[in-house]
Amino acid sequence: VKTIGILTGGGDCPGLNAVIRAAVKTALRRGIRVWGVQNGFGGLVEDQMVELDDRSVSGILPRGGTILGTTNRDNPFAYAVEIDGKTQYQDMSAKALENLRSKGIEALIVIGGDGSLAIAAKFNALGLPVVGVPKTIDNDIPGTERTFGFDTAVSIAGEALDRLHTTAESHHRVMVLEVMGRYAGWIALHAGLAGGADCILIPEIPYRMESVLEKISRRRQVGKHFSLIVIAEGAKPENGEVTISRIVENSHEKIRLGGVGEKLAREVESSTGLESRCTVLGHVQRGGTPTAFDRVLCTRYGVAAAECLVEGVSGCMVALRQDRIIRLPIVDIAGRSRQIEPDDELVCAGRAIGICFGD
Ligand code: F6P
């Protein structure tokens, strides 16, 4: 391989630039030219690409966002085009491949979540060598123990819990923190443990309101007039409506999430009489500089992805398992997600120290 492309797809995530930097530096040192595709998969179709050199990636290791730009919505296999004022979806994959060919780009590194990796797998099936890098703060990509960005999101949510702790204690309030994660509770679980939450509510364990109220009441009986609850945006009550406050659209699905924290806080307040407040952490979890752990992980992923292509290996995703970087077939990952098992060691550890999971 003499020339490769690199692309960031889907929502942004702390560490994207660190992966780009590592992959570009590795490739350049092996004499391979690198093009950056701008604005995600849309840039492939629209022919928005720039050649990257050492200077393009200088100083970007700690920077949030992505120097390449990204978008949630563009799927070259169902690309939105305006025809007579109406949106129609067309297969523009041939155009995307032609744009790559015109620059001599023979292979592609796709840094993305499940939606982007599914698109990457389709291009790979069409004969374009592709390597995927698992990106998402949600940590829900199968085959890898860590997606990059997750550690940063957890540390931000953990810090938020520390701050909520002192104000909750001062005012004798119940503080609810709603965190991201889509259909998985990884951020809530890890942040809840790190931040000393009393209840951790995750999509994988439907919760009962009585169980949450019981926990708050037990704390009151021993003189603790405040409680901290962390709830994942995808958490749902065992019997009851799922609350929806927004629709999130990405390259392959529309999902409805959020609003669960506020609803829970209102129910807690009316049932206990304790003042309750909800904080929705939102995109703070996604912006800004990555943690040291993520910077190291991103560097390993970027190096590993470039090395795959140098060795002529493709159709894979780099992954972390038992602290080693491995390669997995991308078709085994695309379109799937990884949730927390109810007997996960961290759930058991939480139960052992008295954390309520709402069941
Ligand atoms: O997948 C990452 C994520 O941040 C989810 O945790 C969240 O539900 C979603 O993206 C938010 O998407 P958007 O930025 O489109 O609102």
Average pLDDT score over residue span 120-143: 97
What was the pLDDT predicted at 250?
52
318 and 132 Cβ atoms separated by less than 8 Å:
yes
| Minimum CA distance residue for ligand 1 atom 13 | 248
What was the pLDDT predicted at 251?
47
Average pLDDT score over residue span 195-201: 98
Say if residue 225's pLDDT is above 70.
Answer: yes
131 and 308 Cβ atoms separated by less than 8 Å:
yes
What was the pLDDT predicted at 104?
98
Say if residue 298's pLDDT is above 90.
Answer: yes
- Does 283 carry a binding-site annotation? yes
What was the pLDDT predicted at 12?
95
β-strands 86-90, 107-112: how paired? unpaired
Say if residue 196's pLDDT is above 90.
Answer: yes
Residue 246 pLDDT level (bands cut at 50, 70, 90): low
- Does 277 carry a binding-site annotation? yes
Single out the catalytic residue among 12, 138, 151, 198: 138
Complex-level ipTM beyond the 0.85 threshold: yes
- Does 182 carry a binding-site annotation? yes
Has 138 been annotated as catalytic? yes
Say if residue 148's pLDDT is above 50.
Answer: yes
Ligand 1 center from residue 147 Cα (angstroms): 14
Residue 347 near ligand 1, beta carbon < 6 Å: no
- Rounded to the nearest integer, the mean pLDDT of the chain is 94
- Does 136 carry a binding-site annotation? yes
Q: 302-315 pLDDT, tens per residue?
A: 999 999 999 999 99
Residue 136 near ligand 1, beta carbon < 6 Å: yes
Q: Which residues contact 154 (CB under 8 A, 6 or more apart)?
A: 187, 190, 191, 194
What was the pLDDT predicted at 150?
98
| Minimum CA distance residue for ligand 1 atom 8 | 182
Residue 241 pLDDT level (bands cut at 50, 70, 90): low
Residue 180 near ligand 1, beta carbon < 6 Å: yes
Closest CA to 133 of 326, 317, 294: 317
Residue 10 near ligand 1, beta carbon < 6 Å: no
Average pLDDT score over residue span 2-10: 96
Say if residue 230's pLDDT is above 60.
Answer: yes
Q: 252-284 pLDDT, tens per residue?
A: 455 667 789 999 999 999 999 999 999 999 999
195 and 162 Cβ atoms separated by less than 8 Å:
yes
